[in-house]
Structure 1
Amino acid sequence: MKKKCQVVCLLLIASLVLTGCWDRRELNELAIVVGIGLDKSGDNIRVTAQIVNAGEVASSKGGAGYSTPVSILTATESTISEALRKLSTVAPRRIYTSHLRVLVIGEELAHQGVENVMDGLSRNREFRTDFQLIIAKGTSAENVLEILMPTEKIPANKIYKTLELSEKVWAPTVNMPLDKILADLSNPTKEPVITGIQIVGDQETGKTKRNMSRSKAYANLMVPGVALFKQDKLVDWLTDEESKGYNYIMGNVKNSVGHMACPQGGKIAVEVVRTKSNIKGEVVRGKPKITVSLYSEENVGEVQCKIDLTKPETILQLEQLAVEKLTNILEATIQKAKKNKADIFGFGEAIEDVNPGAWKVFRKDWDQYFADLEVSVHVDVQIRRLGTTNNSLLERKE
């Protein structure tokens, strides 16, 4: 009897703790947002939401369906929180942002400053931190989210996957989730950079279903490089090559491909398979100095010239050419940052690590110290493999 009473008591306690799915949300009651765009609209914020049309995406009819795979809703208010709630006036379902893939900020808003925008996003408990943050170059975030793609039914997924793949195999992009950009914005020794997105082709036709029905789309979205920020404001853009240079310096390059001129004319392509970067700070006679060291392991990927790759001296010559090419890229990237007085590399942090006392002096006028900073670049390149053949077809014809 005593044992039976104990079981009953445990069941009663469990019934109080296990209250069931009291806060459940049915899928057919939600408008799942995969992309959000933020644009300046006078003194207000214009919020664009890319919402999945689940029935159309799941349809076996694909492009022959009766509607587009996503819907675009917009609302304008003085704050992001208000604009998101205001979307309920045009959305038949509750706006649900936990599956967000990309957040696009229009270039005009980025020039004005993103600090207030980031604050609104970081306080929203429904937002996760694993979405990609990007800047729309030369256009609005709304226009970017309206482009429909033939390769991916959900445009936000296309953008997310493109950025993810580009970072791994091409290296001009920077993975920038919300928590990372917040850390950079609050870091006094490093300015942020954010990957850009650009519309190429016929923008208006790209917003229609016609863009999804062609093997070569009327309009497409491409990565033009990364946006360079000063504090929270966009001040300049790094080119594709300079964006690679930034990633080389920061040790972000996992894999990439580049080319250089052959000694006798023509070109040779090399695949970067491994890199290691080191930033060292020091204070010499009261002045800050930075040394950037880069090691790059490469393979020969393509030969379009007459060259004998079986000779060790030829490989040494190619390595020296690769060193010169990479050194020029890194120095050009550093010069672009110094021109804008934007320490995107965290050089100030390197100085602080080795000499905290001197950093207290430099910190107050670090913008000017950084603009005049002496930076030494040392590059070491090792070419390991030649591919499945030694010499090029051109060489073997001799």
Structure 2
Amino acid sequence: MKRITIIIFLLSLTLLLNGCWSKRELNELAIVMALGIDKTDDEFEVTMQIVNPSEISSKQPSGKNSPVVSYHAKGKSLFEALRRTTALTPRKPYFSHLQMLVIGEELAADGINQSLDFLARDHEVRNDFYIVVADQSTAKEVLNVLTPIEKVPANKLKNSNEGSQKSWASTSTIQLDKLINNLSSDGKSTVLSTIEIVGDKKLGIDPTNVERIETPVILVYTGLSVFKEDKLVGQLNEEESQGYNFIQDELKSTIEIMSCPKGGNLSTEIIKSKTKVKGKIINGTPSIDVTINVDQNVGEVECDIDLSKIKTIHMINKSTSKLIKDKIKKSLDSIQKKYQADVVGFGEAIHRADPKEWKKIKGNWESLFPELKVNVKVNVNTRGLGTVQNSLLYKTKE
């Protein structure tokens, strides 16, 4: 009886084990690498960039077919539009490998909350893809551009966004969970990287776009798109975007170019930046203190300057500090005066500093933010001068 009881117990455990009832084979799926959403009249139009497996496999591709295929469909809701694509695709779209979401300019200006709601609810869609906004074009047009080197355009969009954010600081790698958190925070709006088509849009879909030494149509990140609540209100250029990333403590590295006293230029590489933002309310008036500590290396010297002198290093530090302050000022002028959208989270900083006083001014934050006083302090430390101390150019001339 004891042995029978054990056998029955073990058999009952098998009922609790997960099986493969919901399995889907790879050859039954259409892997979606990028998704584009546009607004046409009162309908949503979706564009799915799907991988053509035979053209990106490790085996020798035919070279006759495109590495990706785009499918388009419209619907009154995003959910309906996506379901309608099943009537077009030879396999069921699979979104777990989604790399990029491109939002068309018209939809961004109209509001993105409705689109985000579906993506946040769908269990198949992961939240680790990047979200960008098309500038002066539709998401459909962006995803139809073939790109060199990276066969899958979605990978090019992803890599360029990451590379620009890490090395140039003109973009921001925003994923779904961060975007939703930004839009749901009190008094805060958000930014998204801006993608632009440079060249004739009609040529971008042609295979010859990737068969030439100089690609006639390219996709370029041009800065950040500013959203007030969930609606697009404008763009920050590259310099303003860098200022934004300094404030947000999201700057990994960038380049600063300054003029030398005797003519010529000197370039430095920012290798480390740490920002602290503190809010305060004095006599009912809110203000912000921004302190930024920067480490840099001298990257290129195109002038007659003696880097062995301490006063020269002090001059370089002071010049870099001024350049960063100027970028931040230009960024804040656009954010506060032009767009009046708290994408930098100053409202949250004041809330953390003084919750009681924040409750009093919270209702008037939209009118207070444009006139908010922001004190910026930038401390710069030059660490490295490179393997050559002074310029070889001017040494040769001498």
State the match for 1:232 in structure 2.
230
Contact 1:308-1:395 within 8 A present in 2 as well: no
Q: How does 1:204-243 map to 2 (within 5 A)?
A: 204-243=202-241
Q: Which consecutive aligned stretches of 4+ in structure 1 deviate over 6 angstroms post-superposition?
A: none
What CA deviation, in whole Å up to 9, does each residue of 1:71-128 have, x standing for no partner? 1000000111111110011111111111100000001110111111111211111110
Match of 1:279 among 277, 280, 293: 277
State the match for 2:255 in structure 1.
257
**Percent identity between the aligned chains?**
41
Contact 1:191-1:343 within 8 A present in 2 as well: yes
Q: Residue 10 of structure 1: CA displacement?
A: 3.8
Q: Distance in 2 between matches of 1:228 and 1:30?
A: 36
Q: Distance in 2 between matches of 1:277 and 1:36?
A: 34
Q: Secondary structure at the match of 2:163?
A: helix
Q: Secondary structure at the match of 2:222?
A: coil
Contact 1:269-1:300 within 8 A present in 2 as well: yes
Contact 2:189-2:228 within 8 A present in 1 as well: yes
Q: How does 1:289-300 map to 2 (within 5 A)?
A: 289-300=287-298
Residue 39 of structure 2 is aligned to residue 37 of structure 1: no
State the match for 2:85 in structure 1.
87
Q: Distance in 2 between matches of 1:163 and 1:10?
A: 55
Contact 2:44-2:75 within 8 A present in 1 as well: yes
Contact 1:104-1:136 within 8 A present in 2 as well: yes
Q: How does 1:156-175 map to 2 (within 5 A)?
A: 156-175=154-173
State the match for 1:141 in structure 2.
139
Q: Distance in 2 between matches of 1:179 and 1:260?
A: 38
Q: Secondary structure at the match of 1:189?
A: coil
Contact 2:256-2:320 within 8 A present in 1 as well: no
Q: Which amino acid aligns with 2:154?
A: A
Q: Distance in 2 between matches of 1:32 and 1:14?
A: 36
What CA deviation, in whole Å up to 9, does each residue of 1:311-335 have, x standing for no partner? 1111111111111111100111111
Q: Secondary structure at the match of 1:108?
A: helix
Q: Residue 19 of structure 1: CA displacement?
A: 4.9
Contact 2:28-2:92 within 8 A present in 1 as well: yes
Q: Distance in 2 between matches of 1:195 and 1:144?
A: 14
Q: Residue 151 of structure 1: CA displacement?
A: 1.1
Residue 76 of structure 2 is aligned to residue 78 of structure 1: yes
- What root-mean-square deviation, in Å, do the aligned CA atoms of Structure 1 and Structure 2 show? 1.3
Q: Residue 396 of structure 1: CA displacement?
A: 1.5
Q: Residue 61 of structure 1: CA displacement?
A: 4.1
State the match for 1:382 in structure 2.
381
Contact 2:256-2:323 within 8 A present in 1 as well: no
Q: Which amino acid aligns with 1:298?
A: Q
Residue 14 of structure 2 is aligned to residue 15 of structure 1: yes
What CA deviation, in whole Å up to 9, does each residue of 1:27-56 have, x standing for no partner? 111111010000011011000000011111
Match of 2:324 among 326, 330, 351: 326
Match of 2:286 among 288, 299, 315: 288
Q: Distance in 2 between matches of 1:293 and 1:389?
A: 32
State the match for 1:198 in structure 2.
196
Residue 53 of structure 2 is aligned to residue 54 of structure 1: yes
Question: What is the TM-score when the length of structure 1 is the normalising length?
Answer: 0.97
Q: Residue 146 of structure 1: CA displacement?
A: 0.5
Q: Distance in 1 between matches of 2:33 and 2:163?
A: 19
Bigger mean CA offset, 354-363 vs 103-112 = 354-363
Q: Residue 384 of structure 1: CA displacement?
A: 1.0
Q: Residue 201 of structure 1: CA displacement?
A: 1.9
Contact 1:206-1:217 within 8 A present in 2 as well: no
Q: Which amino acid aligns with 2:202?
A: E
Contact 1:255-1:271 within 8 A present in 2 as well: yes
Q: Distance in 1 between matches of 2:354 and 2:145?
A: 50
Match of 1:98 among 81, 96, 99: 96
State the match for 1:184 in structure 2.
182
Q: Which amino acid aligns with 1:150?
A: P
Q: Distance in 2 between matches of 1:214 and 1:6?
A: 74
Q: Distance in 1 between matches of 2:369 and 2:210?
A: 48
Q: Secondary structure at the match of 1:375?
A: strand
Match of 2:153 among 155, 158, 182: 155
Question: Structure 2 stretches of 5 or more lacking a match?
Answer: none
State the match for 2:360 in structure 1.
361
Question: Structure 1 stretches of 5 or more lacking a match?
Answer: none
Q: Residue 214 of structure 1: CA displacement?
A: 2.0
Q: Distance in 1 between matches of 2:58 and 2:143?
A: 22
Q: Distance in 2 between matches of 1:162 and 1:8?
A: 59
Q: Distance in 2 between matches of 1:37 and 1:291?
A: 39
Aligned residues: 396
Bigger mean CA offset, 175-184 vs 282-291 = 282-291
Q: Distance in 1 between matches of 2:394 and 2:18?
A: 77
Q: Distance in 2 between matches of 1:241 and 1:318?
A: 20
Match of 1:109 among 98, 107, 110: 107
Q: Secondary structure at the match of 1:134?
A: strand
Q: Secondary structure at the match of 1:221?
A: strand
Q: Distance in 1 between matches of 2:189 and 2:121?
A: 22
What CA deviation, in whole Å up to 9, does each residue of 1:5-39 have, x standing for no partner? 24532442133223520000011111110100000
